[in-house]
């Protein structure tokens, strides 16, 4: 019960890594808001773990503000924020990615961190405590070809994590990031371009431990960084990548 008495929000919590993080937090005693652009998916996970669901488009300021207001109304306080929602563009030469796809990737993967900070940081500062976890990617550490603007968005998130950590440390707010390798999530096919045995084998050949990351892997790592056990850790980027970035 490492999160007993804590409240947490997980964006993109309706599936994949977000669902794994939400489940793990609930197992450890946290009260959860499962936020997702897919309201039905959020409701399903929330019902499973005894949390509350919140529809949100993390790229829209008014939607993030509504999520913040709903969380404060429901919980009274927010102790943990997990910025997990993310998307990618399909693998392509950098010059062939459409402007629409570029804008969407940066809005969901980068702008969202700004928007949630705008809504939640003042609350955490007032409390003198809080933990923010940004779900980045090995793509931001060791980029793959043909995912250029996705790589860049996750590199932005890593730099933002470090900058936020330095600025918020005097206020008792910790900010860390996870950098997973490709995992068993709805985005896997988009990363690979196509989900075939041959393409899976190609991806797995770059991961020394020989498997994709799982929602459970991410839940365990997120639990540590957001718990009081990690009270001296801020600005860290924990690679959950099976050795991919070595």
The one catalytic residue among 149, 150, 191, 212: 150
In order of their start, the domains of the chain are 7-240 (3.40.50.720)
Which pLDDT belongs to residue 191? 67
Surface-to-core class of residue 170, CB atoms within 10 Å of its CB (0-12 exposed, 13-18 middle, 19+ buried)? exposed
Token pair recorded at residue 167? 């600025």
Nearest to 216 by CA among 21, 31, 44: 21
pLDDT of residue 23: 98
Report whether 125 contacts 171 (CB < 8 A). Answer: yes
**What is the pLDDT tens value at each position of the chain, 246 positions in all?**
999 999 999 999 999 999 999 999 999 999 999 999 999 999 999 999 999 999 999 999 999 999 999 999 999 999 999 999 999 999 999 999 999 999 999 999 999 999 999 999 999 999 999 999 999 999 999 998 999 999 999 999 999 999 999 999 999 999 999 999 988 777 777 667 777 888 888 889 999 999 999 999 999 999 999 999 999 999 999 999 999 999
With CA atoms as reference, report the closest residue to 36 among 14, 9, 21, 20: 14
Q: What is the pLDDT of residue 185?
A: 73
Question: Which residues partner with 204 through β-bridges?
Answer: none
Whether 224 sits among the annotated catalytic residues: the reply is: no
Instruction: Sort 233 into a burial class: Cβ within 10 Å, 0-12 / 13-18 / 19+.
Output: middle
CB-CB contact of 116 with 168 (8 Å): no
C-alpha to C-alpha distance for 158 and 160, rounded to whole angstroms:
5
Choose among 163, 100, 107, 105: nearest CA to 132.
163
């Amino acid at each position: 019960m490492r999160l007993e008495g804590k409240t947490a929000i997980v964006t993109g919590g309706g599936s994949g890594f977000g669902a794994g993080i939400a489940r793990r937090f609930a197992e450890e005693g946290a009260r959860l808001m499962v936020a997702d652009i897919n309201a039905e998916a959020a409701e399903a996970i929330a019902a499973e773990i005894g949390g509350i669901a919140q529809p949100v488009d993390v790229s829209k300021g008014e939607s993030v503000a509504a999520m913040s207001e709903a969380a404060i109304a429901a919980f009274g306080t927010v102790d943990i924020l997990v910025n997990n929602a993310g998307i990618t563009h399909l693998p392509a030469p950098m010059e062939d990615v459409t402007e629409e796809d570029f804008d969407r990737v940066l809005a969901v993967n980068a702008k969202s961190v700004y928007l949630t900070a705008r809504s939640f940081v003042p609350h955490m500062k007032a409390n003198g405590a809080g933990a923010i976890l940004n779900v980045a990617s090995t793509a931001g550490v060791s980029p793959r070809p043909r995912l250029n603007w996705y790589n860049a968005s996750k590199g932005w998130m890593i730099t933002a994590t470090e900058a936020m950590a330095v600025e918020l440390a005097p206020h008792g707010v910790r900010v860390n990031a996870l950098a997973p390798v490709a995992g068993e999530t709805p985005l896997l096919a988009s990363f690979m371009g196509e989900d075939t045995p041959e393409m899976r084998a190609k991806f797995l050949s770059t991961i020394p431990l020989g498997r994709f990351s799982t929602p459970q892997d991410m839940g365990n790592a997120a639990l540590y960084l957001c718990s009081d056990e990690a009270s001296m850790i801020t600005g860290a980027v924990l690679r959950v990548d099976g050795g991919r970035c070595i």
